[in-house]
Chain A
């Protein structure tokens, strides 16, 4: 565990234990893969098709354009043993629209997810909801006499925790962005796994 900004964060290398996804072998590990792709139509379905066609698992996926509008950045959270992850990385690299693939588990990284949670709130619950919002440094971004809409971001453990606390109040709607992640700036040298060296 590491302290940053006064908040506790899970170690970037540790495996979040909140949701054991389809584990059939003990070597199964969650990996966060960061992919730079051409910003063209059809690219998302090539990536999604690769995962579904070969039976790889996608836990979450997020896409958005990068600073260079001709490229998009994807973050995929997946899981598998060493052999499966190696195949996923190689198969992604093989796609012609994929420019760069990084397995963030190979390095230190920070990841974040945002959730927007609409909570039922009756008289007394409203104060409780606000307390939870305060504890998790979340924000109320919309309010009606009977609901609060809460925005929270953090690592998946934190999101799970706030959901657990808000659940007794009654969650009306919940949307999550899926994780985005970035490698921590290394102090000495970059170890980004580029297209070239993933090919051994």
Chain B
């Protein structure tokens, strides 16, 4: 069967089981778009910006566990999608990005809309290809999907010059892939697994520290089994949320910079850390030299480079989380007796003490301004029966969502962890919605970050992606303001957003529904109305602008030394009403 490059592209995607392509056209990819236009198997979602396409593909991938696919043009199309590639690389999201390239004869000539796509994306992709010959296209696409979805997943770029998409070749789709330099290890070393089991049996104060790797490995069932069998408390990273039921008695919630008090204390005072699919990020470890001073460390990860990168590891196990956990459960089952609860009692008593001493807390006055935590809490309570998918942007609202939205299952949590990309949430939610048209998809956003990809509202309306955006609107880059209050003597340098758009009118301008909850008494009603609305909705919730997110471990601080509330000086300043308003901003901001 002789096909053009563009037709080969479509055939390959179909065989990889792709249903949706997030795309934005341009000169050198027109042949591919022309072919996409003439077929019905692949849905093309036309985005308004290539960054949006990239994040949508990420959202799709995180919600489905399959590779997300986006298609962009050369030059600016490619440079625009870089942020999404870098984001996917940091968070190990399987993504295959196709970029157009100028014809091979023009590469290197500074042609119109030419960019060195392979060079640009090299440091932020797992691998990338430039296809110079149409005869290599099918096998390259096969390899791209294989690399993106196996081992530690990640983004892969395939750069297709215009003449390659036009030229014809015999279409042969390879059945399998073999790359001699790429053989991920899935089976954990048996001896090491035995060592780990022995360490678990000996430990008095063990803790499970689980991350995004468990989500991608699909190992939440194994994790649950292991935790219940051994009665070990579970700390989740930001990326791991949902992989263990948030309301399970063994769950301590999120750990790290804004993790719960008891999650961080348990980590710090543990004598055995069992890290599964997590990478000891600096937002988790705090000061590395004082991280878990009493603990031995077991580290299970599919990526050998994650092991001993930041932290000394006593029992390293390279392998797939699911496979290794199964092995571990098998070994433990032979030795664990029914007295685990009794055995762990002192440890759990201690944890409960911590929990009672400093639970997550905030003060909501009945007639005062709406507290952002209250919005997340109510949203959670109103939607938890509908098993929603929740995306967030980056900042204070993200941390509150992580603290108060207690997800029960994996693949429901879409957030940008490693790169911390503002503007991620809305397009990611749309990507998930494109995969699951009937599910409830929520995007908890801040007024700062949501504006970074607001243009995609047009995509949501046109492509009928009924995402519900809840904006915690404090008219600040809230996390920046918090740091300025804590570490920069309250000088709000470029964190006050002054006039934000009227989000209700903005939604309406796009043909979506805009709602506002201006006081606490309206909050539930407005949220319910949004949830009952068919299409995309923006709910604008003006919140108390000076609320700070606690607990907080200052950057480079030690995990057991958390800031738990505003200092008296800060409280005084706020109670005196030295708030920034358009009227007084010149005097207050310079004070």
Chain B residues with Cβ under 8 A from A90's Cβ? 304-305, 307
Nearest Cβ distance between residue A129 and chain B, in whole angstroms?
A: 44
Distance in angstroms between the alpha carbons of A91 and B304 in the assembled complex? 8
Distance in angstroms between the alpha carbons of A99 and B303 in the assembled complex? 17
Residue from B123, B183, B305 within 8 A of A87 (CB atoms): B305
Distance in angstroms between the alpha carbons of A200 and B127 in the assembled complex? 24
A199 touches B180 (CB 8 A): no
Within 8 A of A (CB), among B286-344: 303-305, 307-309, 316, 318
Return the chain B residue nearest A52 by Cβ: B123
B122 touches A94 (CB 8 A): no
Residue from B118, B189, B305, B308 within 8 A of A83 (CB atoms): B308
Within 8 Å of chain B (Cβ to Cβ): is A46? yes
Given contacts A83-B308, A200-B316, A200-B318, contact A95 B189 (CB under 8 A): no
Residue from B181, B183, B303, B307 within 8 A of A38 (CB atoms): B181
Nearest Cβ distance between residue A21 and chain B, in whole angstroms?
A: 22
Nearest Cβ distance between residue B280 and chain A, in whole angstroms?
A: 13
Residue from B122, B182, B318 within 8 A of A46 (CB atoms): B122
A96 touches B318 (CB 8 A): no
A198 touches B147 (CB 8 A): no
A87 touches B318 (CB 8 A): no
B123 touches A199 (CB 8 A): no
Within 8 Å of chain B (Cβ to Cβ): is A42? yes
Given contacts A87-B305, A96-B127, A96-B182, contact A200 B122 (CB under 8 A): no
Chain B residues with Cβ under 8 A from A199's Cβ? 185, 304, 318
Distance in angstroms between the alpha carbons of A83 and B313 in the assembled complex? 12
Within 8 Å of chain A (Cβ to Cβ): is B495? no
A96 touches B122 (CB 8 A): no
Return the chain B residue nearest A93 by Cβ: B304
Return the chain B residue nearest A70 by Cβ: B180
Q: What class of interface size applies to chain A in its complex with B?
A: 20 to 34
A45 touches B181 (CB 8 A): no
Chain A residues with Cβ under 8 A from B304's Cβ? 90, 93-94, 198-200
Within 8 Å of chain B (Cβ to Cβ): is A195? yes
B181 touches A99 (CB 8 A): yes
Within 8 Å of chain B (Cβ to Cβ): is A98? yes
Distance in angstroms between the alpha carbons of A49 and B125 in the assembled complex? 12
Nearest Cβ distance between residue A68 and chain B, in whole angstroms?
A: 11
Residue from B147, B179, B305, B308 within 8 A of A91 (CB atoms): B305
Distance in angstroms between the alpha carbons of A42 and B118 in the assembled complex? 9
Distance in angstroms between the alpha carbons of A9 and B306 in the assembled complex? 39
Given contacts A53-B123, A198-B304, contact A97 B309 (CB under 8 A): no
A96 touches B181 (CB 8 A): yes
Contact with B along A102-113 (1 / 0, CB 8 A): 000000000000
Within 8 Å of chain A (Cβ to Cβ): is B568? no
Distance in angstroms between the alpha carbons of A25 and B277 in the assembled complex? 31
Within 8 Å of chain B (Cβ to Cβ): is A134? no
Distance in angstroms between the alpha carbons of A23 and B354 in the assembled complex? 44
Distance in angstroms between the alpha carbons of A53 and B180 in the assembled complex? 25
A94 touches B192 (CB 8 A): no
Nearest Cβ distance between residue B183 and chain A, in whole angstroms?
A: 7
Q: Which secondary structure characterizes the binding site on chain A? A: helix
Within 8 Å of chain A (Cβ to Cβ): is B119? yes
Chain A residues with Cβ under 8 A from B192's Cβ? 200
Within 8 A of B (CB), among A9-39: 37-38
Chain B residues with Cβ under 8 A from A53's Cβ? 123
Chain B residues with Cβ under 8 A from A37's Cβ? 181
A87 touches B309 (CB 8 A): yes
A195 touches B183 (CB 8 A): yes
Which residue, B123, B126, B130, B318, has most C-beta atoms of chain A within 10 A?
B123
Within 8 Å of chain B (Cβ to Cβ): is A59? no
Q: What class of interface size applies to chain B in its complex with A?
A: 20 to 34
Return the chain A residue nearest B151 by Cβ: A94
Within 8 A of A (CB), among B523-540: none
Residue from A97, A198, A200 within 8 A of B181 (CB atoms): A97
Nearest Cβ distance between residue B132 and chain A, in whole angstroms?
A: 9
Within 8 Å of chain B (Cβ to Cβ): is A86? yes
Within 8 A of B (CB), among A50-73: 53
A45 touches B122 (CB 8 A): yes
Chain B residues with Cβ under 8 A from A49's Cβ? 122-123
Distance in angstroms between the alpha carbons of A98 and B180 in the assembled complex? 9
Chain A residues with Cβ under 8 A from B303's Cβ? 94
Nearest Cβ distance between residue B537 and chain A, in whole angstroms?
A: 42
Distance in angstroms between the alpha carbons of A94 and B118 in the assembled complex? 18
Nearest Cβ distance between residue B514 and chain A, in whole angstroms?
A: 44
B305 touches A200 (CB 8 A): no
Distance in angstroms between the alpha carbons of A45 and B123 in the assembled complex? 10
Within 8 A of B (CB), among A160-200: 195, 198-200
Nearest Cβ distance between residue A127 and chain B, in whole angstroms?
A: 51
Return the chain A residue nearest B128 by Cβ: A42
A200 touches B123 (CB 8 A): no
Contact with B along A73-97 (1 / 0, CB 8 A): 0000000000100110011011111
Distance in angstroms between the alpha carbons of A90 and B185 in the assembled complex? 13
Within 8 A of A (CB), among B181-219: 181-183, 185, 189, 192
Distance in angstroms between the alpha carbons of A86 and B182 in the assembled complex? 19
Chain A residues with Cβ under 8 A from B189's Cβ? 200
Return the chain B residue nearest A43 by Cβ: B181
Distance in angstroms between the alpha carbons of A198 and B147 in the assembled complex? 21
Distance in angstroms between the alpha carbons of A200 and B130 in the assembled complex? 33
Residue from A45, A94, A98 within 8 A of B305 (CB atoms): A94
Distance in angstroms between the alpha carbons of A155 and B318 in the assembled complex? 38
Return the chain B residue nearest A53 by Cβ: B123
Distance in angstroms between the alpha carbons of A46 and B128 in the assembled complex? 10
Chain B residues with Cβ under 8 A from A97's Cβ? 181
Distance in angstroms between the alpha carbons of A36 and B130 in the assembled complex? 22
Given contacts A83-B308, A86-B308, contact A96 B179 (CB under 8 A): yes
Distance in angstroms between the alpha carbons of A83 and B312 in the assembled complex? 9
Return the chain A residue nearest B308 by Cβ: A86
Chain A residues with Cβ under 8 A from B119's Cβ? 45
B318 touches A99 (CB 8 A): no
Chain B residues with Cβ under 8 A from A38's Cβ? 180-181
A98 touches B181 (CB 8 A): yes
Chain A residues with Cβ under 8 A from B127's Cβ? 96
B122 touches A99 (CB 8 A): no
List 6 A–B pairs whose Cβ atoms lie within 8 Å, in order of A's numbering. A37-B181, A53-B123, A94-B304, A96-B127, A195-B181, A200-B307
**A-B pairs with the 9 shortest C-beta distances?**
A90-B305, A99-B181, A96-B182, A199-B304, A96-B127, A90-B304, A199-B318, A98-B181, A96-B181
Extra A-B contacts (20), CB below 8 Å, given A45-B122, A94-B304, A96-B127: A38-B180, A38-B181, A42-B118, A42-B122, A49-B123, A53-B123, A90-B305, A93-B304, A96-B126, A96-B147, A96-B181, A96-B182, A97-B181, A98-B181, A99-B180, A195-B183, A198-B304, A199-B304, A199-B318, A200-B192
